[in-house]
A and B are shown apart, each in its own frame.
Chain A
Amino acid sequence: MHSPQLLLTMYRKMVLARRFEEKAGQAYGQKKIQGFCHLYIGQEAVVVGINEAIRPDDMVMTGYRDHVHPLVRGSDAGMLMAELFGKDTGYSKGKGGSMHFFDVEHHFYGGYGIVGGQIPLAAGMAFASKYRNEDRITVCSFGDAASNQGALHETFNMASKWKLPVLYVVENNKYGMGTDIARVSAQPDIHKRADAYNMRGESVDGMDVLAVHDLVKELAASIRAGKGPVLLECFTYRFRGHSMSDAATYRTKDEVESERKRDPILKLREHILERKVAPEARLDAIDEEEKRIVDEAIAFADQSPEPPIEDVWTHCLVADGEADVKPRERVRGATDVKWPSYPTDFKVTWELEPREPKDEPQRAPSRKKGAA
């Protein structure tokens, strides 16, 4: 049984995510946001179900459909919106925009614009955790279409062989831009591809936040226990186009309407009411509170200045002794920012590839020039 608190937290976060994206869409229409902008509307159960099942200090990353992943981890909604508006008060000072959200304080390691490009990075982050003998896991999301990238196959092979603590999540919304994933995939059941790498593959109804949550709880524990990476396929749907410039004519009205009936927020709302966890009025109040947070975020982004023009030169290379920028400290003057710090002196105890007697070389290795 899920606790009332968990259910209400998930409801709150999904509503926040939905409102944030709706407002971002509106602001895009007003040209306050420009460029590529990919909304997460319809897919909220995936991110929220996962987030409530992992630890706050686990690491999360995704592709360019990245607004909601940091938001539900606790990022400052105003600063995220400001990044969309290209303002100085954004998390990346307006250098990243919609596709490149980063909030290291909340262990959100980015928004990446090259389809599938984040997949190897997540293995590297998991490698670092294992190397230092930490028990944090990395969760890396990508779209269904990203699963046809070579980066995925190269990475799964290594992640599985070295039992890296990473959860790969396919947000399968059925399409990569306008292309139905089944049209271009010899194996459209993406989680089954895990078999090829001796890796655990699972799937779940990504419109059901409780199902996502429960499965990820179990998977995260298994990954944390050193049992190796997992590929989790979440069947979901985006209610809007691929990006703001997509009219989504490749889908029928019927298809979109029937998917909308599976709206993950409505589904959770019904569940909460059925179980009498909270009365309707309480949920309406949550709706209002989250709407207000997003309205304030828009106002904050609107009123924020553009980055100073001298900043065009900053953050290209790290200068000697240059510190990292802590966004909430810089923008909000926050004094409670916990920033990750990593040891510089420790012992590596991990035996990545233990040697067996049969592996010992028969004779001393030759020193002559090798060949490629």
Chain B
Amino acid sequence: MPELAYRDALNQALSEEMARDPRVFLMGEEVARYNGAYKVSQGLLDKFGSARVVDAPISELGFAGLGVGAAMLGLRPVIEMMTWNFAILAMDQIVNNAAKLRHMSGGQLRCPIVFRGPGGAGGRLSSQHSQALEANYAHFPGLKVVAPGTPADAKGLLKSAIRDENPIIFVEAELLYGSRGDVPEGEYTIPIGKADIKRPGRDVTLITWSRMLTAAVLPAAELLAQQGIDAEVIDLRSIKPLDHETIAASVRRTNRVVVVEESWPFASVGSELSDFIQRECFDDLDAPVRRVTGLDVPMAYAANLERAIQPSPERIIEAVNAVLYRPG
């Protein structure tokens, strides 16, 4: 299996799906001649031409809505948001139109569209450019939300997202684009709604997704292993629909859970997970669910503050010790 960077895995998925299906087009800022702000669309303009790889003006609301209209008429737009921070300007089109069209029309219309781009911390970019916003979209019925943490998952999930009949929020990670991993070649998809156990273990379940997987959770699990604690790591990959079965089965094995997420704690994906677990796995739990989240403040620029705001292996180990009632 060839090793690829996360951005190149995404590029392969786009390229393969565009070659396979003429209805697929990519639109966004800097996607064509500049080859993408993060080079995800490298080479696509040359391969597919300027009607299928479209440089849009800086009008997130406008081109998000344009994509929705094209999807209503049988195309399969992939709308690149330079980052999810800027998609906040497009939220009306995503939430009020894409997510509700099938419903408002009583099943007459469908909206097969992918909104994709990087989310999460950007690396010394301060508050407006460093936000993990997936919980916002997961809130709305009518949207699916996907956030892959590895190159292989990025490729397989993007291909599934493009083929899906529904609007998909596809959250990449700004700091993962250069990360490398094995990626299967050619036709290969990962079903939306299936979590993946990235590290099996017996003592505690760590649930996470996107960049936190490799940036904090797997390193924490290695440190815990050195201390004789065998952590299971679940990578959600899809936030909505949520893979309740994989989560519940793991909790039944380990009886202890820590949720690790980059975003803020209030009304987050972690809150939803905690609610689900206490409700459905109450008798299996030996400790209350703990959460390790971004601190409830906007992201700071200073290096030490930026580090302190995000979950770290240290904070994860602290939470694991708490659910194991183990002195730190």
Interface residues of A (CB under 8 A from B): 59, 90-96, 100, 102-104, 109-114, 117, 119-129, 131, 150-151, 154-155, 157-158, 161, 314-318, 320, 322, 324-327, 340-342, 344-348, 350-355, 359, 361, 365, 367, 369-372
Given contacts A121-B97, A124-B68, whether A325 and B108 have CB atoms under 8 Å apart is: yes
Cβ-closest 9 pairs across A and B: A124-B69, A120-B65, A154-B62, A342-B74, A92-B106, A325-B107, A154-B59, A121-B69, A128-B73
Q: Is the interface of A mostly helix, strand, loop or mixed?
A: loop
A128/B107 in contact, CB under 8 A: no
Residue in chain B with minimal CB distance to A359: B33
For B51, what are the chain A residues with a Cβ–Cβ distance below 8 Å?
131, 348, 350-352
Residue in chain B with minimal CB distance to A156: B62
B110/A121 in contact, CB under 8 A: no
For A352, what are the chain B residues with a Cβ–Cβ distance below 8 Å?
49-51, 54
For A129, what are the chain B residues with a Cβ–Cβ distance below 8 Å?
73
A355/B50 in contact, CB under 8 A: yes
B65/A327 in contact, CB under 8 A: no
Given contacts A157-B59, A348-B22, A352-B54, whether A104 and B39 have CB atoms under 8 Å apart is: no
Which among A155, A314, A346 has the greatest number of chain B C-beta atoms within 10 A?
Answer: A155
Question: How many chain B residues touch the partner (CB < 8 A)?
Answer: 66
0/1 string, B267-301, CB within 8 A of A gives 1: 00000000000000000000000000000000000
Min Cβ gap A58→B in Å is 12
Given contacts A158-B56, A318-B110, whether A353 and B50 have CB atoms under 8 Å apart is: yes
Min Cβ gap B175→A in Å is 10
Min Cβ gap B183→A in Å is 18
B25/A369 in contact, CB under 8 A: no
Told that A123-B66, A128-B73, A158-B56 touch, could you supply 7 new A-B pairs with CB distance under 8 A? A94-B106, A100-B104, A117-B97, A124-B66, A342-B75, A352-B50, A372-B37
Q: List 7 A-B contacts (CB under 8 A).
A: A104-B108, A124-B71, A158-B63, A326-B108, A348-B25, A370-B38, A371-B37
For B103, what are the chain A residues with a Cβ–Cβ distance below 8 Å?
95, 315-316
Given contacts A353-B55, A370-B39, whether A120 and B165 have CB atoms under 8 Å apart is: no
For B188, what are the chain A residues with a Cβ–Cβ distance below 8 Å?
none
B66/A151 in contact, CB under 8 A: no
B82 at the interface (CB under 8 A from A): yes
For A110, what are the chain B residues with a Cβ–Cβ distance below 8 Å?
101, 104-105, 109
In the bound complex, CA of A121 to CA of B30 (Å): 22
A324/B97 in contact, CB under 8 A: no
B106/A91 in contact, CB under 8 A: yes
For A322, what are the chain B residues with a Cβ–Cβ distance below 8 Å?
165
B42/A96 in contact, CB under 8 A: no
How many contacting A-B pairs (Cβ < 8 A)? 212
B106/A90 in contact, CB under 8 A: yes
For A59, what are the chain B residues with a Cβ–Cβ distance below 8 Å?
73
Residue in chain B with minimal CB distance to A59: B73
For B68, what are the chain A residues with a Cβ–Cβ distance below 8 Å?
120-121, 124
Min Cβ gap A36→B in Å is 14
0/1 string, B126-157, CB within 8 A of A gives 1: 00010000000000011010000000000000
A127/B66 in contact, CB under 8 A: yes
In the bound complex, CA of A213 to CA of B104 (Å): 30
For A370, what are the chain B residues with a Cβ–Cβ distance below 8 Å?
30, 34, 36-39
Question: Contact partner of A347 among B22, B33, B66, B69, CB < 8 A?
Answer: B22
Given contacts A110-B105, A117-B97, A316-B102, whether A127 and B61 have CB atoms under 8 Å apart is: no
Residue in chain B with minimal CB distance to A150: B61
A317/B65 in contact, CB under 8 A: no
A117/B92 in contact, CB under 8 A: yes
B223 at the interface (CB under 8 A from A): no
B23/A344 in contact, CB under 8 A: yes
In the bound complex, CA of A86 to CA of B316 (Å): 51
A324/B109 in contact, CB under 8 A: yes
B52/A348 in contact, CB under 8 A: yes
B35/A365 in contact, CB under 8 A: yes
Min Cβ gap A365→B in Å is 5
A157/B73 in contact, CB under 8 A: no
Given contacts A124-B67, A325-B108, A352-B54, whether A316 and B142 have CB atoms under 8 Å apart is: yes
A114/B106 in contact, CB under 8 A: no
In the bound complex, CA of A100 to CA of B73 (Å): 18
A365/B109 in contact, CB under 8 A: no
For B77, what are the chain A residues with a Cβ–Cβ distance below 8 Å?
124
Min Cβ gap B20→A in Å is 10
B73/A154 in contact, CB under 8 A: no
